[in-house]
Structure 1
């Protein structure tokens, strides 16, 4: 790394979240320390803003949060930018998801995620035990928790502002067939897709991703991309990696991701990889 970054962007799943979907006190500690030394620290996640509080320790603070793969940005609880899926696209996606019996969650802004009651049976069937070997434990636990507690099962779609769709399948063949269907839908209504595992795909507004979200956040704070560092682990982090000045992947990332970044952490997300990396590389560099 050349210059000391002024802004650091951290992914959540597989990065600061361990495989049991928790951010540790060590991660909070290093973020607090870097912010005290004058660096800006941001979250850049595929998760919706409303999901984050339950995953982090008490007192966890960052300078801003980019959520839903760039669909919205928050400083404190204030949205500084927000994109929304159209109602036309939402209706079409749910009709097609039902046709293909694909697990979905629709995320309205400032409300619980939605799925329709008539689709509950095939959605629940996708997360039946046992867990398929190729599905990551963090994703599996999140889906089970969503079906049991987080999804608001509705008779009809409610709301008029939606941050994203999350789709999941227990087999790779099923999700790959769905990705092919999404490409067909895209011929009628443009949108962006993002993938963070071999079993999911998310849908956002066209030309929106973590990179575009970072640009908006930097503009808000009058920062430039020349002094930025990002840490992530999966395909939905690629736009972020391409945008920032210095890209770091987690040790637990795929070889494909490791091959396109500037550096790889020494430890995984289950071994406090972000804490160790930032402590080793940035704390000594900022001691005056």
Structure 2
């Protein structure tokens, strides 16, 4: 395999549990960087969180946040791309979510606006509090500010709910109005601006770095990774991936909890034996 760019999802892919990166993944990514292979961390999460992970790993990689709505060429930039909703589009999505009576967030460059937090699952509430404490997110709960500022500045909208019926109402409201959405877990809906997804991020990185799309690889596990996997020459699904992802992948990597990303890269890209068994 001739690979010059490797893109990888985080949760369920590069991470094992609780945002931890297995040692073999770290070693493989550092060796890729040493050999001149470009790396990209691609996630629905915000840029500050992903940047912190890159620094923790110790690689200067591209950072693709909000499912491709913001692209940084490295941990210190520059910004390659930013895609936001138009004011009319953003307001339309927000009105649909208000009508569905669900908790949702609007991701912008500097702040996450949170609507109806009392309707959010407890697990998500705790996660958001943790990210705020770590400095990864600045949360704004003032609904008037959200209505005024979020529509034209949002990278994406995310629905979180503990109510299955409300979740279905939100999904149906989006579908009936032709609004494209995806999911990074069974409990959320993610709405992106037109032309923005993880696949478009791969193409933008290829153009920026001057890399042929036939020299690209990506790892993923869930449905919001589908566009990214379809955009590369070597799509790799994790063993723990959902069936829909496995169906389009050309290769299957070991479980994320077993350092599947690092193991696959070592054996198939770097052509080296696995350095560490655990």
Distance 1:278-1:269 versus aligned 2 partners, 3 A rule: same
Q: Specify the alignment match of 1:219 in structure 2.
A: 207
Residue 66 of structure 2: which of 50, 65, 68 is its match?
Answer: 68
Structure 2 vs 1, CA of residues 56 and 223 (structure 1 numbering), >3 Å: closer, same or farther? Answer: closer
State how 1:5-20 maps to structure 2 within 5 Å.
Answer: 5-20=3-18
3-state DSSP of counterpart to 1:61: coil
Q: Name the structure 1 match of 2:35.
A: 37
Q: Could you tell me whether the CA contact under 8 Å between 1:171 and 1:199 is conserved in 2?
A: no
CA distance in structure 1 between the aligned counterparts of 2:114 and 2:187, rounded to whole angstroms: 19
Structure 2, unmatched stretches of 5+, are 274-278
SS state at 2:236 partner:
strand
Partner of 1:106: 106
**Equivalent residue for 2:276?**
none
CA deviation digits over 1:226-256, x for unaligned, max 9? 1111110011111111111011101111122
* Aligned counterparts of 2:83 and 2:47: Cα–Cα separation in 1: 13
State the partner residue of 1:132: none
Provide the alpha-carbon RMSD of the alignment. Answer: 2.3
TM-score (norm 1): 0.82
Distance 2:241 2:22 in 1: 19
Task: Give the aligned length.
Answer: 261
Q: Secondary structure at the match of 2:13?
A: coil
Q: Please, which runs of 5 or more residues in structure 1 have no aligned partner?
A: 129-139
Q: Classify 1:91/1:16 alpha carbon distance in 2 versus 1 (closer, same or farther; 3 Å).
A: same
The answer to whether the 8 A contact 1:247-1:263 is kept is yes
Please give the per-residue CA displacement for 1:143-201, whole angstroms capped at 9, x wherever unaligned.
52215634222242236522111112224443232111012333xxxx53222222211
Match of 1:166 among 158, 165, 180: 158
Note the 1:136-151 alignment, pairs <5 A: 140=123, 143-147=125-129, 149=132, 150=137, 151=139
**Offset from partner CA, 1:77-108 (integer Å, 9 cap, x none):** 22111111122333333333233221211111
Taking the aligned partners of 1:145 and 1:64, their CA distance within structure 2 comes to 25
| Equivalent residues of 1:192, 1:208 under 8 A apart | no
Local SS of the residue matching 1:50: helix
1:162 counterpart SS class: coil
Q: CA deviation at 1:65?
A: 1.8
Q: Give the distance between the partners of 1:95 and 1:17, measured in 2 at CA.
A: 35
Matched, 1:243 2:225: no
Give the alignment partner of residue 279 of structure 1, picking from 246, 258, 266.
266
Given the two structures, how large is their TM-score scaled by the length of structure 2? 0.84
